[in-house]
Structure 1
Amino acid sequence: MNFDRINLSRRHLLKAVGAGVVASATSACSSSQPQPPAGIIGADGKRVLPWKNWSGNQSCQPTERLVPRNEEQLIDAIKAANSTVRCVGSGHSFSGLVPTNQTLLSLARLRGVENVDREALEADVWAGTRLSMLGRELWKHDMSTINMSDIDSQSFAGAIATSTHGTGKHLGSISSHLRGLRMVKANGEVIECSPDNNSDLFYASSNHIGAMGVITKARLKTDPAYYLKETSWMMSEEEGLARAAELRDKHRHYEMFALPHSDYMLGVAIDKVAAADIPANPPVPSGDAYEAFRMMSNLIDYMPFMRSWLVNFGASGVEPETRYGKSHEIFGNLRDILFNEMEYVVPADAGPACLKEVLDTIKQQNIPVIFPIEARYVAADEVWLSPFYRRDGFAISCHNFHDKDYKAYFAAIEPIFWKYDGRPHWGKIHTLGPEQLAGKYERFKDFVELRREMDPDGRFINEHLSRVLGV
C-alpha cells in the first residue's frame, strides 16, 4: 500500500470511507439456514413479494403489486383498487412515502422520451424513466438536462415527487424545469396542467409526494447537449467554509463534501467545456483510495479513539483530480455503499455557518460517524412544497451507513437545521409534523386543501403522509 500518494475522487471518497464497515456487516448477517419463501399469497393465488427501499430502512408487505404496461392499464388499476394505492419508483427515498399494506403500483414500464422539440428544447418524459436513461435518451436528440442530481438511479416521477436536485447557484431542482404534467386522479380521470393551465395544480404537483395523483408523464425543459469538466480537490475545513460563496459564484456547479472528525473538506467544481477541449486521453481516477479507506474504516471499528487521526491522515494525501464527459456521465455517480440520509435546506447565505455548527457538534459530542456530509447550492423556484420555494437554498445532506444507527446522529443535528430555518427534503428522514411544516412551507395549507379536492377519500394517503400532512 502506497500511502504517500492517494488520488481520491468524490466517488472513491463516498465508497471507500465505509467499505470495510459494510463488508464486515454483510458477512456477519449471512446465514446458511434455509429461509421460508418471502411474501404472501394474493387474491389471484400468486405470491406477492414484500418491498423494501434501497437502504432497507423502509419496507412493507402489500396485498398486491401492479406494474401496468401503459396508461390505460394504470387507469384501470386505480379504478379497480378498493384500497390505498401507493406508487414506487426506484426506492431511493428514505422517508416513508412508499410503504403500504395494500396496493403498490410501479410505473417502471411507463418509460421513454417522446415528442421531442429540438427548437423549443422540450420533451415528454414518461414517469418510470430512470434519470440515467433520461440523459442517454436526450443525448440522442442533441439535448441534455439543464441540471441533474448526483445519483441518477431514481425514476423521473420519483424525482419530481420530492424536488430532487443537483447543485448550482442559478440552477433549480428537476421540478423547476417542468413545463407540464399529465396525471391520473383517484377516480381514474386524466388531467393535465402547466404554468399557464391550472397553474395551482401544476405548482402543487411538481413536488407532489404521491398525494395528488399518479403522474404518468411530464414535459421537460432541456438545454442543447453539452460536455462537462469536473475538478475536485481537498482543502482545509476553514478554507472550504470561507470560500463557499466565492466558489459557488465562480462555477456553474459547486458542492462540498465535509469530512466529520477531520480538518478537511473536498471541493467539487463542474463547468461546461467544449468537446474540442477534452484531452484525447483524459486521466483515469486512481483506485488506491478504496483500499486505503477500507483499512481506515476497519481500524476505526476497533480503535475509535484513532478516528480523527485516521480521517485526517487519509484526507491529507488527497490530490486534485479532473474528469471530462457528456453531461449525464459527469452528473451521475455510482452509489453502491448503502446508507440512510437526512437532508435539510437552509437559506443560501446561512449555509456555511449551519454546516460548521453541524461539524462542530459531531466533534463535541463525539458522534461515531465518518460518512462525508454533502453540501450544495440550489436556486429558488415556485413549487409549493419545494425546499427552495422562493428562496435560494443550501442543501446539507448527512448520511450514515445502512447497518449503523443513524437515529442518535440525526437527533443531535436536526435541531441545528431548525435553528437556521431549514426545510426538510421530503424523500429523506426528518421528524417534523404538519404544524412545523406549515410554518416552513408558505403554501403547505394550500397543498393540503387542494389534495383534499383531488383525492377526497384519501386513496393515495398512507400512514406517513397522514402523519406529515395531518390528514
Structure 2
Amino acid sequence: MHFFLLFLLLLINSNSVSCSPPAPPVKCDTTGCTVTNAYGTFPDRSTCRAASAVFPSSEEELLEAVAAGSRKNQKMRVVTRWSHSIPKLVCPGGEKGLIISTQELKRVVSVDEESMRMSVQSGAALRDIISAAAEYKLALPQTPYWKGLTIGGILCTGAHGSSVFGKGSAVHEYVVGMRLVVPERGGNASVVTLNSTHADFDAAKLSLGLLGVISQVTLQLEPMFKRSITNVKMGEQELEERIVEFARLHEFGDVTWYPGQRKVVYRIDDRVSVNQSGDGVNDFIGFRQTLTAALGFARSTEEMQEATKASRGKCTAARMQVGALQAFGTGFKNNDLMFSSYPIVGYHNKLQSAGSCLNSTEDALLTACPWDPRIKGEFFHQTAMAISLNKIADFIRDIKKVRDLNPSGLCGLELYNGILMRFVKASTAYLGAQEDSVDLDFTYYRSKNPLVPRLNEDMLEEIEQIGLFKYGGTPHWGKNRNIAFQGVLNKYRKVEDFLKAKRKYDPEGLLSNEWTDAMLGIGKEGVMIVRDGCALEGLCLCEEDSHCAPQKGYFCRAGRIYTEARVCRYQE
C-alpha cells in the first residue's frame, strides 16, 4: 500500500462510498463449476474444476450431500464463504469432484452463559462469532487479525492470533467439541461427535479438512475483558535479544519489523481492568475498503519500480507509508471516529480483529478490499513460518546478514507492512505448533505474469529457505508457496497418529486431493512442480538456470549466507 494510496484511503469515510463485497469463490454454469480463492489464483496458476457444488444450510443437508458424494465415489472438498487459503486445499480432486460450500452454514446455534460455551455452524464468520459472544458479555480470547475467516477455515488451517499465555494463540485450542460429517464405505455418511475425551480430537481440531466436513463447533469462551494497546517504535539493534522476553511479558503483543529502515514496532498489548476508561476500535487500514482508482495507481507504481529495478524508490515510498501508518495509529482508534494518542483502551471484541471492507452490501467497485482480483489492486505472495523461540534469535541475525549485503533489497516488504511476528504456543493438535514459536509473515509483490521475476527475489528466497530448512520452520497450512511444504511431514512428531485418524474417518480417501496427498507425502507426486520458470513462484527449488528467467538475467545460484539455498539471482 503506497503513500498516495494510504493518503486517499484516509480521506474517505469507510461507510460513505459504495463498495463491492468479495466475490464468491464458487462459480457454476451448465458445464460444471470452478473454485478459487480470495486472490483469484493458486500458487501454480491452475483452475480447479468440479462437476457440481452444493450449499447446505443445515447438518441434515450436509449429511445428504456427503452421502450422495460417497455413493458416487466422488472426491469432495469444502470451500468457505471467502476462501482465503493460498494453497490448493479447496480443489476437489478432478473435474468429476464435488464442491461443498459452507456459505449457508453460518448460524450461531447456541450460547450457554453458565458454562460460557458457544456452538456455531462451521461457516460462521469470525466477525459474527465475536459479535454474538459480546452480546452475552463473553469473549473468544484469541483470534486471527482478519475478520473475513470462518470457524471451519480457521480450524482446518490452524489460524491464530499472538500469545504464548494460557492456551496460546491458536483458535483450535479453545475448541471443546466438534460435529463432523464423514463418508462411509458402501456409499453412506454419518455424523461423528468429538470432544476432548476422544482419542481423535487432537487430530480433528486441525485437520486440513481431511477427517470429515465440519458441521458444528463448540468454543470455550470467557468473560469479556478490556485491553490496552500501545505501539512503540524503536531501532532494530536489540531485536534478537528482546523478542523472546517480549513474548513472555505481553499477553497479546506482537512485533513488526521494517528491515529496510532498521526499525521495529513493538505492540505492547495486555489486559486491563474493565473499569479503565476507553472505547477503542481496531479498524486496520490495510483491511478497510479502498478506492479502486488508488489501488490501481499503487499497483502501477510498483510495477514500474519492478520493471526499472528501483529498489531505492521502494525504500522512499516505504518510509513515507510507514510514517503515515504510525501517525494514524495503523488504524486503531480511541473511539469510533479517530486515533488521537496511545494507549488504545477498549473491549476485547472491538480490538481483536479487523475487516471493515467486508461490511458492504452494495455491488459497485468504486471501493473494494485491496486484494480483490476483479480490480487492479494488490497481488502478492505470502510466506509464513513458525520458528521455535530457542532458534529465533539466530534466524533474525541471518536475516540481517542477508539484508546487509543489499540494504535496499527488502524495502518491498515494507510496502506490505513489513515482517509481522506473532507468538504461538506449543499445541496439542497433531498438526499444530510443535513448540513455543514466533510466526513470521512475509508479504511481497507478485507479478501477474508467472514468468516475470521479482526485484531482489533472491534475498527473500534465501531467507525463506534459511527459515524452513536451516532452522526447521513449520509452514502455515493456509499460506505459502509450494516449496514451504517440501518434507513437511518430518517436522511433526505425531503425524502417524494423524494419518491413522485420516484413514479411520475417510477410508476411501474421498476428502483428500492431489495437493493434500502431496503435502502429507502419500500421493504419487510431490509438492514440487518442475518446469521452466518454476522457481520464480516457489513451485520448485531451482536446479538449473531455466527454472529461473535466464532470458531476463535471472540465473540459478547458491545463497550468499546459506550456501545450501538455491535462488534466482539477477546478474548483468
Q: Does 1:468 align with 2:519?
A: yes
Quickly say closer, same or farther: Cα 1:411–1:456, change in 2 above 3 A: farther
The residue identity in structure 1 corresponding to 2:496 is K
Aligned-pair CA distance for 1:93 = 0.8
Q: Would you say 1:337 and 2:370 are equivalent positions? A: yes
Query: Structure 1 280/163 Cα, relative in aligned 2: closer, same or farther at 3 Å?
Result: closer
Q: CA deviation at 1:333?
A: 2.5
| Greater displacement, 153-162 / 398-407 | 398-407
Report how far residue 281 of structure 1 moved: 9.0
Aligned to 2:427, which of 335, 359, 381? 381
- After superposition, residues 140-155 of structure 1 pair within 5 angstroms as 140-155=135-150
1:5 matched to which residue of 2? none
| 2:54 match | 66
> Counterpart of 2:544?
none
Establish whether residue 53 from structure 1 lines up as the match of residue 15 from structure 2. Answer: no
Q: Given the superposition, is the C-alpha separation of residues 235 and 142 from structure 1 closer, same or farther in structure 2, using an over 3 Å criterion?
A: same
Query: Which residue, out of 111, 116, 121, partners 1:121?
Result: 116
Give 1:393 deviation, angstroms. 1.2
CA distance in 2, matches of 1:420, 1:392: 14
Q: 1:161 to 1:428 in 2, by over 3 A?
A: same
Answer yes or no: is the 8 Å Cα contact 1:111–1:128 preserved in 2.
Answer: yes
Q: Which amino acid aligns with 1:76?
A: E
Q: Is the 8 A contact 1:234 1:315 kept in 2?
A: no
Distance in 1 separating the partners of 2:37 and 2:4: 20
Whether the 8 Å contact between 1:132 and 1:328 is mirrored in structure 2 is: no
User: For residue 76 of structure 2, what is the aligned residue in structure 1?
Assistant: 85
2-side partners of 1:61 and 1:144: how far apart? 39
| Compared CA separation, residues 309 and 19, structure 1 to 2 (3 A) | closer
Of residues 285, 289, 307, the one that matches 2:314 is 307
Match of 1:326 in 2: 347
| Pair 1:176 & 2:173 matched | yes
Which of 101, 108, 116 is the matching residue for 1:106? 101
Matched ranges for 1:49-448 at <5 A: 49-58=33-42, 59-81=47-69, 82=72, 83-89=74-80, 90-100=82-92, 101=95, 102-170=97-165, 171-187=168-184, 188-196=189-197, 198-199=198-199, 201-279=200-278, 300=305, 303-312=310-319, 315=322, 318-319=326-327, 322=342, 323-334=344-355, 336-338=369-371, 339-362=380-403, 364=405, 366=409, 369-370=412-413, 371=416, 372-386=418-432, 388-389=433-434, 391-401=435-445, 403=447, 411-417=461-467, 418-431=469-482, 436-448=487-499
Instruction: Indicate if the aligned counterparts of 2:384 and 2:439 stay in contact, CA closer than 8 A.
Output: yes
Q: Secondary structure at the match of 2:77?
A: strand
**Partner Cα separation in structure 2 for residue 242 and residue 154 of structure 1:** 34
Q: 2:148 is paired with a residue of what secondary structure?
A: coil
TM-score by length of 1: 0.82
- How far is the alpha carbon of 1:85 from its aligned partner? 0.5
**2 CA distance for matches of 1:184 and 1:54?**
26
| CA offsets 1:399-427 (integer angstroms, 9 cap, x no match) | 12454667866533222112112111111
Provide, for residues 110-160 of structure 1, a one-character-per-residue CA deviation record: whole Å limited to 9, x for no partner: 123233222222121210001111100111111000111111211101101
Percent sequence identity over matched residues? 20
Q: 1:426 to 1:177 in 2, by over 3 A?
A: same
Partner of 2:501: 450
Distance 1:345 1:271 in 2: 23
- Which residue identity does 2:192 align to in structure 1? I
| 235 and 122 in structure 1: CA distance in 2 versus 1, 3 angstrom threshold | same
Between the aligned partners of 2:279 and 2:256, the Cα distance in structure 1 is 29
The verdict on how the C-alpha distance between 1:400 and 1:315 changes in structure 2, with shifts beyond 3 A counting, is: closer
The more displaced of 401-410 and 351-360 is 401-410
Q: Judging by fraction of residues, say which structure has more helix.
A: 1
Runs of 4+ in structure 1 over 4 Å off: 15-20, 280-287, 293-302, 312-321, 402-410, 432-435
What secondary structure sits across from 2:391 in the alignment?
Answer: helix
In the superposition, the TM-score normalised over structure 2's length comes to 0.68
* AA partner of residue 115 (structure 2): A
Cα deviation for residue 91 of structure 1 reads 1.0
Shift in CA distance, 364/56, structure 1 to aligned 2, threshold 3 Å: farther
Secondary structure of 1:349 counterpart: coil
Q: What is the SS of the residue equivalent to 1:324?
A: strand
Q: Structure 1 pair 68/207, CA: closer, same or farther in 2 (3 Å)? A: same
Instruction: Kindly provide the amino acid, as one letter, of the partner of residue 349 in structure 2.
Output: H
Aligned residues: 431
User: Bigger relative contact order, structure 1 or 2, given CA contacts below 8 A and separation 6+?
Assistant: 1
Q: CA RMSD in A?
A: 3.3
Q: State the distance in 2 between where 1:282 and 1:233 align.
A: 18
CA distance in 2, matches of 1:104, 1:313: 44
State the Cα deviation string for residues 411-468 of structure 1 (Å, max 9, x = none): 3322211211211111111435988223200011221222122212110111101211
Distance in 2 between residues matched to 1:141 and 1:285, nearest whole Å: 25
| In 2: Cα distance, 1:286 partner to 1:434 partner | 31
Do the aligned partners of residues 76 and 281 (structure 1) sit closer, same or farther apart at CA in structure 2, a change above 3 Å counting? closer
Structure 2 stretches lacking a partner, 5+ long: 10-25, 330-340, 358-368, 372-379, 523-572
Change (3 A) 1:286 1:214: closer
Instruction: Tell me if the contact between 1:263 and 1:312 (Cα under 8 Å) persists in the aligned partners.
Output: no
Task: Give distance in 2, aligned partners of 1:412 and 1:219.
Answer: 41
Residues 112 and 283 of structure 1, relative CA distance in 2, 3 Å threshold: closer
Q: What secondary structure, in the 3-state scheme, does the structure 2 residue paired with 1:465 have?
A: helix
Write out per-residue CA displacement over residues 60-95 of structure 1, whole angstroms, 9 at most, x where no aligned residue. Answer: 222212100111111111111221110011311111
